[in-house]
Amino acid sequence: MIEAGRTAADHIAADRRVVWHGMRPFKENDVPLLITEANGSWITDCEGNRYLDGMSGLWCVNAGYGRQELADAAYRQLSSMPYYPLTQTHLPAIRLAEKLGEWLEGDYVVFFSNSGSEANEAAFKMARQYQQQTGHPYRHKFIARYRGYHGSSPGALSATGQAVRKLKYEPLAPGFLHVRPPDSYRRPEGMSREAHQLQCAREIEETIVWEGADTVAGVILEPAITGGGIIVPDKAYMEEVRRICTQHGALMIVDEVICGFGRSGRSFGHHNFGVSPDIVTMAKGITSGYLPLAATAVKREIYQAFCQKGEYDHLRHVNTFGGHPASCAVALANLELMEREKLRERSSLLGARLLEELGAALAGHPLAGDVRGFGFMAGIELVEDRQSRKPAAPGVMQGIIDSCRRRGLIIGKNGDTVAGYNNVLTLAPPLSSTDEDLDFLLAALLEALEEASPA
Ligand code: PMP
């Protein structure tokens, strides 16, 4: 709804004067969507146009929009005890940490912060301090993958393997190394998928050995690379990474910022591979985006290294708003809602249908090089032609995104990641989407892709 006395155009003019938007190249007559209402999987702009939000905002509104019980949980908490820092404690944080333990299916201790970037920054500090306090003073390096994303702050951006996100912000933090992602669509000709997956995992091992295992603190990875182009590993890859980390004394840090909270069809993405990380970072879907919150969960053995008696042995790290009582209360209500409505199972069902129908409809499409999915999340890698696999040009990508928007569907792409490879359309709708929502999404997307087809 638009305020009396001010038109939508007035608001946009004010926006253009005073609001600086992330990830938006400057264009003279650029008009951002001004979203004023949202319900279920649908958002409405200031002119009353409705769109199906095929990206759940920024991959986070897992339970869908318009959940009164989440707003009520925040209201109740703000009314009774609006803020107290977690240098002491409060009930919403205690209850949520216990609930996260159930969802994680392991013995973890939870440190709260506000964003995915912060959760990863905390993980890096914890990993280094843990290594120092357990007799490994030289273990400070982290290995991550090219194309992976871990956040925007200097440490998290150093771990990010997307050169375009770093350009003009370097030098960043030293000690972050990158290896090849398990992108089987672009594996060498003649190599089997299985061999390629193992080779990619072993590149981590080679890097550890060549760097000197006693200099490596940890390996950080998303269960599936998400914003970098929906690159989904095989179980064997993840098992091999787990073996390598254990064998070489590196902590396995799994970034569940997008894959967590049902997106993958399970509680957390790593549950699909049967591996148990040493550290799990999470944000976004923890509150379904209703309030900011993030967490870094560490295995109890790691936490115990911080319970020694030395003057500097405790974690000297805090964020004023980390684990805000209202955010924790909303997260708890969100997880209860997801359990009650079986949204993890729903994610798995919807994702299977999405992948199957996209795969069948695009099997002969000249631009659709590869269709990939992980739970209720999918990527369509667009190419100039299927033989050369040359990535589709940015104009083609934008044309399809605009065409979807004209049809009332918001989709995403892997934007500003690595030069020349921003050619994956992305989908991550709310897990609460109805069958009719998915019908609409598929129809609009396939029409837009048909329109773009050169054939
Ligand atoms: N890790 C991953 C996998 C992400 O997708 C993101 C955000 N898109 C982050 C970390 C950083 O989270 P935030 O934007 O909340 O700092």
Ordered DSSP codes for 386-437: TTT-PBPPHHHHHHHHHHHHHTTEE-EE--SSSTT---EEEE---TT--HHH
Distance 269 CA to ligand 1 centre (A): 15
CATH architecture of 68-340: 3-Layer(aba) Sandwich (3.40)
Q: Is 327 in the pocket of ligand 1 (CB under 6 A)?
A: no
| Whole-number pLDDT of residue 2 | 67
| Whole-number pLDDT of residue 309 | 87
Pick the CATH number of 8-63+342-452 from 3.40.190.10, 3.50.50.60, 3.90.1150.10, 3.40.50.970: 3.90.1150.10
| Whole-number pLDDT of residue 1 | 61
Residue 280 in tokens: 């799990």
CB 73 within 8 A of CB 50: no
Shortest-distance atom of ligand 1 to CA 292: 15
For residue 287, what are the CA distances in angstroms to 229, 257, 293, 297? 24, 11, 7, 16
Interacting residues of 402 by C-beta distance below 8 A, sequence separation 6+: none
Shortest-distance atom of ligand 1 to CA 283: 15
CB 151 within 8 A of CB 157: yes
> How far apart (Å, rounded) are the C-alpha atoms in residues 333 and 335?
6
Distance 150 CA to ligand 1 centre (A): 6
In this prediction, the residues of the chain whose per-residue pLDDT falls under 70 are 1-2, 455
Torsion sign, CA atoms 229, 235, 237, 241: positive
| Whole-number pLDDT of residue 205 | 98
| Whole-number pLDDT of residue 4 | 75
User: What pairs with residue 82 in β-bridges?
Assistant: none
| Whole-number pLDDT of residue 454 | 81
pTM, 2 dp:
0.98
Distance 451 CA to ligand 1 centre (A): 33
For residue 334, what are the CA distances in angstroms to 304, 341, 365? 30, 10, 39
> How far apart (Å, rounded) are the C-alpha atoms in residues 302 and 37?
44
Among candidates 50, 28, 15, 151, which has minimal Cα distance to 406? 50
| Whole-number pLDDT of residue 455 | 63
Q: Is 255 in the pocket of ligand 1 (CB under 6 A)?
A: yes
Residue 19 in tokens: 């609001």
Total count of residues recorded for the chain: 455
Q: Is 115 in the pocket of ligand 1 (CB under 6 A)?
A: yes
Domain boundaries along the sequence of the chain: 8-63+342-452, 68-340
Q: Is 149 in the pocket of ligand 1 (CB under 6 A)?
A: yes
Beta strands in 189-331 (DSSP E): 216-221, 251-255, 279-282, 294-299
Q: Over the stretch 408-441, which tens digit does the pLDDT of each residue have? A: 999 999 999 999 999 999 999 999 999 999 999 9
Percent of the chain with pLDDT strictly greater than 70 = 99
Q: Is 240 in the pocket of ligand 1 (CB under 6 A)?
A: no
DSSP calls for 241-256:
HHHHHHHHT-EEEEE-
Report the SS3 class of residue 291.
coil
Q: Is 296 in the pocket of ligand 1 (CB under 6 A)?
A: no
Q: What is the best residue among 220, 284, 293, 319 to mutate for testing ligand 1's pocket, by most ligand atoms within 8 Å of CB? A: 284
Q: Is 287 in the pocket of ligand 1 (CB under 6 A)?
A: no
**DSSP category for residue 50:** E
| Helical (H) or strand (E) element with 303 | helix 300-304
